Amino acid sequence: MDGHLMLKEIAEGYSVKSQKVIIACVDRDILKYFFSNWEWLNLGLIVSEHLLKLPKEARKEEIVDIVRKIIEVTDSENVVIENIDVLFSPEYSLDVIKLFTLAGKNKRLIILWEGTFKNGILTYAEPGYDDYHSYEIKNYDAYCITK
């Protein structure tokens, strides 16, 4: 199926009842075209602002609650989340996909993912880097769309 047709179908028919978090390994401009009427959340910026108010030793403990609260208080139930790089910092040891599936229980979430999806494996960064993460997508209540 053409990736653009799939995006259009998702934009028109994505329901909370059939909810899965959608991880989008696509160009931001394409996503913006199909989901321009959704609320866009620059998560990295907002999370960073919250974390800077905390002592460094408290940040790991608080980051999950910060992300969950940011998503929860977002007015729209249709949210595209971008700039998630801060969540991959090794100091937080987060399972980022699990965090989004838990935080988005009552929202339709699309995560703009700056990584790759191949053979059922979603990756962020390259092996050997401290922020490298890989996820076997079948283990999550999530779905990936690619270019």
Residue 56 neighbours by CB under 8 Å, 6+ apart: none
pLDDT at 2: 46
How far, CA to CA in Å, does 3 sit from each of 55, 93, 111?
44, 32, 16
pLDDT at 143: 87
- Is the model's pTM score more than 0.85? yes
Q: What is the mean pLDDT of each run of 10 residues along the chain (147 residues)?
A: 56 57 92 92 97 95 97 94 97 96 90 94 94 95 86
131: part of which helix (H) or strand (E)? none
pLDDT at 9: 63
